[in-house]
Amino acid sequence: MLAHMSDAPDVDPEDRKIITLARSARARNGVPEGAAVRDETGRTYVAGTVALASLRLSALQTAVAMAVASGATSLEAAAVVSGSAELPADDLAAVRDLGGPGTPVLLAAPDGSLRTADVV
């Protein structure tokens, strides 16, 4: 279940950074979504959608997997840039699995404007 964060227009500079990284991954790779996550040490992991015949991962699932593969034990925040108005439950579950309850998930439009800021 998601709890909606405040609708304040100001986005924390560290959160703005992961939105920018997600946006650039989407544009650079020409994929439907870009994502970035920040782990407990402040390291960031950036990914795009993976769409192979044998493997399909959303950008957020890929970014979470990259963090896990690099030794991250928790997440501070996650961001996705997408044309979609909401994130699938599987994406939110991946963030919750690594970050735990209370991890913020930001969803931004392709232009980088914040659509939603939720907590898993």
**Per-residue pLDDT tens for 1-55?**
343 343 445 788 999 999 999 999 999 999 999 999 999 999 999 999 999 999 9
**3-state DSSP: the chain helix, strand, coil percent, rounded to 5?**
30, 30, 35
Q: Average pLDDT of the chain?
A: 92
Tens digit of each residue's pLDDT (9 = 90 or more) over 52-83:
999 999 999 999 999 999 999 999 999 999 99
Element (H, E) at 4: strand 3-4
Note the pLDDT of residue 9: 55
Mean pLDDT confidence for 82-90: 95
Give the number of other Cβ atoms within 10 Å of residue 95's Cβ: 26
Q: Where are the alpha helices (DSSP H) in the chain?
A: 13-29, 59-69, 89-99
Asked whether residue 89 carries a pLDDT value surpassing 90, the answer given is yes
Chain Cα centroid distance, residue 101: 15
